Amino acid sequence: RKAVTIPALQAMRDAGEKIAMLTCYDASFAALLDRCGVDVLLIGDSLGNVLQGQTTTLPVTLDHMVYHTECVARGNHSAMVMADMSFGTLASPEHAFNCAVRLMQAGAQMVKVEGGAWVADTVRYLVERSVPVCAHVGLTPQSVHAFGGFKVQGKSNAAAEQLKADALALQDAGAQMLLMEAVPAALATEITNMLHVPTIGIGASAACTGQVLVLHDMLGIFPGRKAKFVKDFMDGQSSIEGAVRAYVQAVKDGSFPAAEHTFSA
């Protein structure tokens, strides 16, 4: 297939086509996910959880992110490679840019930043300097201690209004994509319809332009309780490749997420 670029992702959104995204941390999985038609590979700082055994993403360093981005970039052929800006990289626009340069030089084509309107200046600074940005709002895991736990965001009217204002501010700042995590389905649908850039949901809404899951979650490899928005795609499959293809198919045809994977306000 042709390389998945930012204009290609925008064209998918404009044509009503769904975007399938998964996290990825190494070259072997990068090759497999690319071959199965996953559009975007996210080197998520969830690697702190699934690779390092941490309980939060806060201990993940930029050096960790750079290393895994290099691994993924080597295995990938045509998918878009997106890397998370780890905790502490958003101290200032200048600091964020220097961190983003390291991720881009490691092979990222786009970076993801957690935060609302307060991070818009940084988003603008990055985008102006040729670093494409996906903004991540809602349950931003780097804010776990500020939130007091991993909780659905945007539930009250005031919080929903704030989230809408954040989404618009981030799009205005130049973010080429918006990822929403653990927000009520109706709100995620409204924000998707409000924006002109693609939206990606995780525990958000089937109406989002695309979906993302943590690779280990969708393969059923995780300790403890399964989050509501996770579906184990190994169920009924005899290979990892089968599970990934089932995920891509379910995202593309809109059957994932089902109502049971989303939140009501």
Stretch of 4-12, 40-48, 218-226, 229-237 lying at the interface with Na ion (CB under 5 A): 40-48
Nearer to Na ion, 73 or 214 (CB): 214
Among candidate residues 236, 214, 243, 182, the one with its CA nearest the CA of residue 44: 214
Q: What amino acid occupies position 38? A: V
Query: Toward ligand KIV, which CB reaches closer, 42 or 90?
Result: 42
Instruction: Identify the burial level of 7 via C-beta atoms within 10 angstroms of its C-beta, where 0-12 means exposed, 13-18 middle and 19 or more buried.
Output: exposed
- Which one, 61 or 158, has the nearer CB to ligand KIV? 61
Q: What distance lies between CA 48 and its chain's CA centroid?
A: 15
Dist CA 250 CA 220 (whole Å): 16
Binding-residue total with Na ion (CB under 5 A)? 3
The DSSP letter of residue 227 is: P
Q: Closest distance between Na ion and the C-beta of residue 126, in Å? A: 17
Q: Interface with Na ion includes 44 (CB under 5 A)?
A: yes
Write the Ramachandran bin of 229: left for phi over 0, alpha for psi from -120 to 50, otherwise beta.
alpha
Whether the Cβ atoms of residue 212 and residue 178 lie closer than 8 Å to each other:
no
Q: Which is nearer to Na ion, 34 or 84 (CB)?
A: 84
Residue 105 CB neighbour total at 10 angstroms: 11
| Residue placing its CB nearer to Na ion in the complex, 219 or 246 | 219
45 makes contact with Na ion (CB under 5 A): yes
Collect all residues with Cβ–Cβ distance below 8 Å to 13 and sequence separation of at least 6.
19, 197, 198, 209
23 contact choice in Na ion, ligand KIV, none (CB below 5 to 8 Å, kind-dependent): ligand KIV
Q: Closest distance between ligand KIV and the C-beta of residue 214, in Å? A: 5
> Which residues contact ligand KIV (rule: CB under 6 A)?
23, 42, 44-46, 84, 179, 181, 202, 212, 214
Nearer to ligand KIV, 2 or 145 (CB): 145
Side chain identity at residue 27, one-letter code: A
- Residue 202 contact among ligand KIV, Na ion, none, beta carbon within 5 to 8 Å by kind: ligand KIV
Cα–Cα nearest to 123, from 176, 83, 84: 176
| CB of 181 vs ligand KIV, minimal distance in Å | 6
Among 34, 39, 84, 217, binds Na ion (CB under 5 A): 84
* Segment interacting with Na ion, rule: CB under 5 A, options 7-15, 81-89, 97-105, 197-205: 81-89
Q: Any idea which residue has 């989050």 for tokens?
A: 227
119 contacts: CB under 8 Å, gap ≥ 6: 90, 113, 135, 170
Report, in Å, the least distance between residue 218 CB and ligand KIV. Answer: 11
Establish whether the linkage from the previous residue to 257 is cis, with ω within 30° of 0.
yes
Catalytic residues: 181
State in angstroms the smallest separation of the CB of 238 from ligand KIV: 26
Which listed range, 66-74, 80-88, 176-184, 213-221, lies at the site for Na ion (CB under 5 A)?
80-88
Chain residues that interact with Na ion, rule: CB under 5 A: 44-45, 84
